[in-house]
Amino acid sequence: MSEQLMTAQETEKPASGSGFTGSTDAQDVLLEIRNLSKNFGGLQAINDVSLNLRAGIITTLVGPNGAGKTTLFNMITGHIPPSEGDVRWQGESVIGKAPWKIARAGIARTFQDLRLFTHMTVEENVLTMMESGSWLWQPGGKSRKAKRLDKVSQILEKTGLTDKRHTRALDLAYAERKFLSLARIMATDSRLWLLDEPASGLDPNSYNLFLQLLREEVKEGITVCIIEHNLDIVVNISDRIAFLDQGKLLADGEPQTILNDPALAAIYFGER
Amino acid sequence: MTAYILNLLVLISVYAILSTTLNFIIGYAGIFSLAHAVFFGIGGYTAALVAMHVTPEFFVAVPVAMAAAAVTSLLLALPALRVRGEYFVAASLGLQVLAVTLFSEWKSFTGGIGGVIGIPAVELFGYPVYKPWQFLLMSLICLTIIIVIIRTLVHTSFGRSLKAIRDSESAALASGKNITVIKTLSVVLSSALAAVAGALYAFYMSFINVQSFMLDTSVLVMAMVIIGGTATVSGPLLGAALLMLLPSALTYLSFLPQTEIGSIQQIVYGMAMVLLMIFRPGGIVSSHPGGSK
């Protein structure tokens, strides 16, 4: 099976995952996960995981179902408190902070099940993400509002949702919903994006657009951590890969190293 | 006959205020409260006491009533809105039961079971308002102002945040929304505006007691919102009109046993709710019959 991983990598991967060509070890650490654990009763969902997310690259979390990837996202974003350990964002611990405070600090996320604001229009979905506060009027008056709407237009243009601007999220096709999820995160000013299986179920055209968008955003300075099962995507975009299994971080390093490891491939495909 | 119709219209407009204000939290924030009659009652009792002991001036009695309801709603909202939606329903039901007991027993404030009698006519800048058509005009103006306030609010960033919370609390949190504060503010505002209906009702009836503020009323107002159509302007108005007209309409059906009109009315409400939930979950006024918001 490890041969299959290597074949996909050799045939489809561009020069480097997101276009970053230097050593990822040299990059600044934006988010530091230290000895993080989470128990749900008798189940150890995350077991002493330590991982650094480096600035300006794409780190992919891979591992079989139940490895604890989404739980890790939930703990980073404050949706689930860890049992032990620490998460430091730009040097400061975020443990115990409310999810909305962590989001405002610059960590944005998407959800595997999308969780769109289904009864709101595409425009409202994107606009809502730009409005950090919820006061009756946003600061800056009409000129700032015009700028926000302009930014909405640009994001919708990039994600191919311009024609759907006034359509409710509920009425979008599956791929359009996926892109709305991406458009929403693009509307935030966050430096770190945590994407939970953003490309699953996309058709080839949508998939290519997704990869192109992600690469452009990383070039603009966004740091991405992505949970992905699709090996094409893993191979094509990753600058680093972290491999989780049964709550443990088994490996963390350059894609070549991880993808060429037959033991990890066996775990991934359930052959061990 | 004119007096009868005017009376019906005044009551419809008062209940339309209640349904519109409840729709603000049900339709736009996804908060289902079974305690709306409590704030209706607090508004009524407070306005009555202010009118009897301080001044019957509308612009004094109504703001005091609104403030009393707003403060009381905080007691419910602050602890209850930290938990998931279904727990808020249970908490609001608890408040409703507690409030009925208080309304019945706190004689110095509510007059107990006997209620508050002899509420003076409300005054607008010193001019007493006591004719039914004057009340109708006053309550319609209040209803219009409340609709404008709510309609404006739902188109602001606050309104968008409310709708985001309604659709997905976790996604709203992940987008940086302080959902506890936003939900609390919406409940406080809804309760304060419901107190306007209570004040109008107290002044119009010139007598109030606990019977008007029981769980039945909360359920009735919720039925108005759901049957009319949530998250719409006209839905709660239509719901209020339909459910207030229903008892009167039933009395015209001579083949029905007149002594059982109350029970028949409950059966009709129940059937209407069940059928709507099956065939038109968004309510009568819904652009998307599959269940619109």
* pLDDT score of B291: 43
A254 at interface of B, judged by CB pairs closer than 8 A? no
Looking at residue A272, its pLDDT comes to 61
Mean pLDDT of B89-101: 93
Q: Give the model's confidence band at A231: pLDDT under 50 very low, under 70 low, under 90 confident, else very high.
A: confident
Q: How many domains does chain B have?
A: 1
Measured CA to CA, the distance from residue A44 to residue B75 in angstroms comes to: 38
- What pLDDT shows up at residue B87? 84
Contact with chain B for residue A11, Cβ under 8 A = no
With a cut of 80, say whether residue B174 has pLDDT above it: yes
Interacting residues of A78 by C-beta distance below 8 A, sequence separation 6+: A94, A97, A98, A99, A101, A102
Which range of residues forms the domain containing residue B189? 2-212
| Average pLDDT of the residues of chain A | 87
Does position A173 have pLDDT exceeding 60, yes or no?
Answer: yes
Residue A135 binned pLDDT confidence (cut-offs 50, 70, 90): low
Whether B113 maps to a domain, the answer reads yes
pLDDT higher than 90, residue B239? yes
Q: What pLDDT band is residue B213 in, cutting at 50, 70 and 90?
A: very high
Percentage, residues of chain B above pLDDT 90: 74
Minimal Cα–Cα distance from A185 to chain B, Å?
8
**Nearest-5° Cα angle at A148, A145 to A151:** 155
Q: What percent of chain B has pLDDT over 70?
A: 96
Contacts with B229 from chain A: Cβ below 8 Å:
none
Residues of chain B with Cβ-Cβ distance to A137 below 8 Å are 156-157
Res B1: pLDDT: 64
Asked whether the beta carbons of A202 and A210 are under 8 A apart, the reply is: yes
Q: State whether residue B176 sits within 8 Å of chain A by CB.
A: yes
* Minimum mean pLDDT range among A263-272, B2-11, B111-120: A263-272
Helix intervals (H) in chain A: 2-12, 69-76, 99-105, 122-130, 141-159, 174-187, 204-219, 231-237, 255-259, 262-268
Strand, helix or coil for residue A122: helix
Query: pLDDT higher for A15 or B4?
Result: B4
Q: Which member of B167, B172, B175 has the closest CB to residue A119?
A: B167
- Tell me whether residue B64 is in a domain: yes
- Supply the mean pLDDT for chain B: 91
The answer to whether the CB atoms of A103 and B160 lie below 8 A apart is no
Q: Which domains does chain A have, with CATH numbers?
A: 2-106+191-268 (3.40.50.300), 115-189 (no CATH)
Residue B57 is assigned to a structural domain of this protein = yes
User: What integer pLDDT is reported at residue A8 of this predicted model?
Assistant: 40
CB contact under 8 A, B157 and A133: yes
Give the Cα separation of A7 and B82 in Å (integer): 51
Look at residue A260 and tell me whether its pLDDT is greater than 90.
no
- Mean local confidence (pLDDT), A128-155: 81
| pLDDT, mean of residues A200-210 | 90
Q: Which residues contact B106 (CB under 8 A, 6 or more apart)?
A: B112
Q: How confident is the model at residue B86 (pLDDT cuts 50, 70, 90)?
A: confident
Contact A134 B177 (CB under 8 A): yes
Distance between A253 CA and the closest CA of chain B, angstroms: 28
pLDDT at res. A134 = 61
pLDDT attached to residue A27? 61
What is the model's pLDDT at position A3?
43
To the nearest whole angstrom, how far is the Cα of B109 from the nearest Cα of chain A? 36
pLDDT(A253) > 70: yes
Nearest to B170 among A79, A131, A138 (CB): A79
Is the pLDDT score of A179 beyond 60? Answer: yes
pLDDT tens for each residue of B10-39: 999 999 999 999 999 999 999 999 999 999
Given a cut of 50, whether residue A133 has pLDDT beyond it is yes
Q: Find the angle CA(A206)-CA(A210)-CA(A214) to the nearest 5 degrees.
A: 175
In a domain, B40, yes or no: yes
| Res B44: pLDDT | 97
**What are A68-91's pLDDT values in tens digits?**
999 999 999 999 999 999 999 999
> Is B274 among the domain residues?
no
Buried b (16+ CB within 10 A) or exposed e, A139-178: eeeeeeeeebeeebeebbebbbbeebeeebbbebeebbbb
Is a pLDDT exceeding 90 seen at residue A170? yes
Q: What is the band of B100 on the pLDDT scale with cuts at 50, 70, 90?
A: very high
Mean of the pLDDT values across residues B204-210? 95
Radius of gyration of chain A from its Cα atoms, rounded to whole angstroms: 19
Q: What is the pLDDT of residue B263?
A: 84
* In the predicted structure, residue A137 carries a pLDDT above the cut 80: no
Q: Which residues of A touch B177 (CB under 8 A)?
A: 100, 134
Predicted pLDDT at A11: 37
Asked whether residue B52 is domain-assigned, the answer is yes
Residue B288, pLDDT score: 56
- Chain B contact present for A53, CB below 8 A: no
Best mutation site among B157, B182, B232, B288 for testing chain A: the one with the most A CBs within 10 Å? B157
- Mean pLDDT calculated for residue range B46-57: 97
Say if B157 falls within a structural domain.
Answer: yes
Residue B6 belongs to a domain: yes
Q: Which of residues A232 and A153 earns the better pLDDT score?
A: A153
Q: Inform me whether the pLDDT recorded for B165 exceeds 50.
A: yes
pLDDT at A31: 96
Cross-chain Cβ contact A135/B157 below 8 Å:
yes
The answer, yes or no, to whether residue A16 has pLDDT greater than 50, is no
Assess whether pLDDT exceeds 90 at residue B250.
no
CA distance A266 to chain B (A): 35
B230 touches chain A (CB under 8 A): no
pLDDT at residue B62, as a whole number: 98
